[in-house]
Amino acid sequence: MTTDVDLPTAVSQKFPSATPRASLDCPAFNVPPGEILAVLAHLRDAQGYDFLMDLTAIDWTAEQAPRFTVVWHLYSSTKHTYVRLAADCVDAAAPAMPSSTGLWPGADWLERETYDMFGIKFDGHPDLRRILMWDGYPYFPLRKEFPLAGLPADLPDAEVAAETKAGLIAAPMAGGPFVATPGGPMGDAEPRAKDEAWNEQTEKPE
């Protein structure tokens, strides 16, 4: 597997605040949020990392500080190598990060998705709206406290909701997938919501 071996020294010389990050494959750096755009621009213009392949975030749960880490993956079409950058959001209650849409227009949708799923605001994004969920959805589903079964919410269309009196319900997962937690035994898994309306004793309602 090929990696860019010269990159770690080049980046740490130019940006002393960028510290190496544990990684099993490509070079990776932890960068302070204030410097992330400068590092990204340097990698793109001086190091040949012309593709922004991926942009996402990790939620380390509400107990951890810092709670949210935003992760960028860049690819160089000349060196054929990757680099990973990570920046921690300072404020867990109102997480924010500078937007990289000025460097790559393709970051637009990726940042919208990260905002949609984690609630991280990207400062300077031209049109930060939800993208996979609908406008007005009250939760950020990839945050760790959001349960797998979902949470009750209103339907996106108020008119339909008023007409049908229907709403979103948490998905009953009886017979659904086994649910597990990372690093913990299966016994600690999130309990599955079971359909308690019928069992061996009481008949299945018609």
Partner 1 sequence: MAADFSFPDTAAKTAANLPQEFDPEKMSLSMGPSHPSTHGVLRIQFELDGEIVTKADPVIGYLHRGDEKIAENMTYNQFVPYTDRLDYIAPLANNMAYAIAVERLAQLEVPARCQAIRVLTAEMARVSSHLMGLGAYGIDVGAWTVFMYCFEEREKLYKLFEELTGARFTTSYTRIGGLQRDVPEGWVQQVDAFCDQFLPILDEILSLLSRNKIFLDRTVDIGVISRADAIAYGLSGPNLRGSGVANDLRKDRPYSGYEQYEFDVPVGAKGDCYDRYLCRGQEMMQSVKIIKQVVKNFPGGDWYAKDARKIFAPPKDKILTSMEELINNFMIVTEGPQMPAGEVYFEAENPKGVLGFYIVSKGGGVPYRLKIRSPSFCNLSLLPKLCVGNLVSDVVSILGSLDFVMGECDR
Site of interaction with partner 1 (CB under 8 A): 1-2, 22-26, 28, 50-54, 56, 58-59, 71, 73, 75, 77, 80, 82, 84, 104-106, 108-110, 113, 117, 130-134, 141-142, 146, 148, 177-186, 189-190
In the structure encoding, which two tokens stand for residue 39, read together?
């590092």
- C-alpha atoms less than 13 angstroms from C-alpha of 4 in its C-beta half-sphere: 23
Q: Of all residues in the chain, what percent are helix, strand and coil, respectively (each to 5)?
A: 20, 20, 60
Minimum distance from residue 204 beta carbon to partner 1 (Å): 27
Q: Among residues 155 and 179, whose Cβ is nearest to partner 1?
A: 179
Minimum distance from residue 190 beta carbon to partner 1 (Å): 7
Minimum distance from residue 128 beta carbon to partner 1 (Å): 14
Minimum distance from residue 123 beta carbon to partner 1 (Å): 20
Comparing CA positions, the residue from 42, 56, 55 lying closest to residue 7 is: 42
Tokens 């755009």 found at: 37
Helices and strands (H and E) in the chain: how many = 4, 7
Q: Among residues 2 and 13, whose Cβ is nearest to partner 1?
A: 2
Q: Among residues 10 and 148, whose Cβ is nearest to partner 1?
A: 148
Minimum distance from residue 206 beta carbon to partner 1 (Å): 30
Q: Among residues 22 and 93, whose Cβ is nearest to partner 1?
A: 22
Helix (H, G, I), strand (E, B) or coil at 83: strand
- C-alpha atoms less than 13 angstroms from C-alpha of 142 in its C-beta half-sphere: 18
C-beta separation of 65 from 73 below 8 A:
no
Q: Among residues 4 and 39, whose Cβ is nearest to partner 1?
A: 4
